[in-house]
Structure 1
Amino acid sequence: MDCILRSLIFFFENLGGHFGLWTTKNSVLFLGFVPIEVFFIATLAGATYYLLFPRTWDTATALSTSFLIAVVGAMLEAGLVSVDYLEYMNWWNSYLAVVAYFLTFLMMYKVNLLITKS
């Protein structure tokens, strides 16, 4: 699961960076537009997500956890913006970050079920 999350992050972060939607500053190492620290966080988050959630589809769990993760993720990004480690540009904003996180983790919940059933 962490490989899936890292792949999604790598793809979307680089896509957003390429189109000038955001930029990240003060990283030890960048992989394209993606800071290496994000990969470490994605590894832990993906493994935790895989271990914690049920192996059957539950709409309430899928929607509530995805929403909670989306709100917390956007709040953490807002903190990074406030200390100038992350900068939103053009039309990207925190509201779109909530939607992006929500859709990503809802998709991950479904993919997790597909992987564990095979």
Structure 2
Amino acid sequence: MKSRLGYLIIGFLLLIESAYFLYGGISGDFPLFPTNALIFSLSVMFLSLGYLHPQFKNKDERMKVIREKGMFYSYFILMFYFSLFMILIHFQVISISAMGVVTILAALTIMTVFLSMVVLSLLL
């Protein structure tokens, strides 16, 4: 995508869709699915890309540092997520299907990577 506005529009549309599914799940009209977390994570991704677009369109050293450090920090946070899920499932604190775990971990991965880049762009 070539414009910041496009990222922001798609991000807000996905955020509205995620809020609709969350409301429907809470009110009991339809069940809460882990895919709602995936839709929410995609909205976070597009909103983050909308924020990062002015910095990422210039292919300079700062952009490369933000991407590298963002992926580096995300790796360790993701290892924490995996360990936490293994512990919670092993001790039967949560009962969730394999598809639910994979969907939630995918959503957490997307959000962690892009939010770490946003935080690093603010700090660097």
Instruction: Report the TM range for the smaller structure's normalisation.
Output: 0.3 to 0.5
Considering fraction of residues, name the structure with more helix: 2
TM-score by length of 1: 0.42
Considering fraction of residues, name the structure with more strand: 1
The higher radius of gyration belongs to 2
TM-score by length of 2: 0.41
